[in-house]
Amino acid sequence: MARAFLGMGLLGTNFVKAMLDRGEKVQVWNRSPEKAAALEALGAAVSADVAAAVKSADYIHVTLKDDDSVNDVLAAAAPGFKAGAMIIDHTTTSATGAIQRTAEWKSRGFTYLHAPVFMGPANAREGSGFMLVSGNQEVIEKVQPLLDQMTGKVINFGAEEGKAAAMKLVGNCFLVAFTAGLSDTLALGKALNVSVQDVGDLFSLWNPAQMMPARLQRMSAGDYSKPSWELNMARKDTQLFINSVQEKNGTLAVIPAIAEEMDRWIAKGFGSSDWTVIAKDAVKK
């Protein structure tokens, strides 16, 4: 069984190193040749031509930037595809793009499986983290043993094409919002002379992540009439955050936008509702 890997960024490079550690034969390519060349000493077969890099490969893994780069690289590699080869794409892309590629490559006689990951370079090297799949279950069952070697857990979201891509984007959206919110939290702490260590100590004793299931259930239930924290009160506290940071000439990334959203819902008459009402439109069926 031969495998090819296209895209030698941090993730792709560490996937390949782990494959080589397992004694697998891997053919690699990267748009910047020096990144691929660095793996030659470890046993990878390096090619400067992407079509040559995939010749004889039964499985072609892809870790690139976006939909356009995946489409461009696969189009360039296609002349070298072995009959019946399977493309396994770990790139974070749009759900629409994943669906289109699945259909397009099937029409051309090849199998395309989108398998994005919640993994960093260290996860790829040690085979931990999470890999997401969805779509044709026979295809997933066939390739599952290979994917199991690459990650800590493969999460199968069922037969819906593009579902794995969608879930990956949802997860990344949360990570972006979480990080931006944490940045604002640290900015507030700085304004109030609370150190980063103090913030860490607080969260080690009081873990707000434990509230997430109940918070999500309340938001999705659509009943905001029995508040645990009234929107008016949450908005008052939000202004205290803003004022405290502004007094120290600091900046906030997302809190001012949240304040505007709160004001919008208060103006609509929801000031006495639970503050999670600001998600009402997002969860509306």
Q: Please pick, among 168, 268, 284, 285, the residue that the annotation labels catalytic.
A: 168
Beta-sheet strands, E only, within the chain: 3-6, 26-29, 45-46, 59-62, 86-89, 111-114, 117-118, 130-133, 153-156
The burial of 69, by beta-carbon neighbours within 10 Å (0-12 exposed, 13-18 middle, 19 or more buried), is given as middle
What pairs with residue 88 in β-bridges? 61, 113
Is 168 noted as a catalytic residue in this protein? Answer: yes
3-state secondary structure of 270: coil
User: CA separation (Å) from 11 to 3, 113, 138, 182, 246?
Assistant: 16, 18, 27, 25, 40
CA distance 94 to 71: 12
DSSP assigned state of 268? T
Active site amino acids: 168
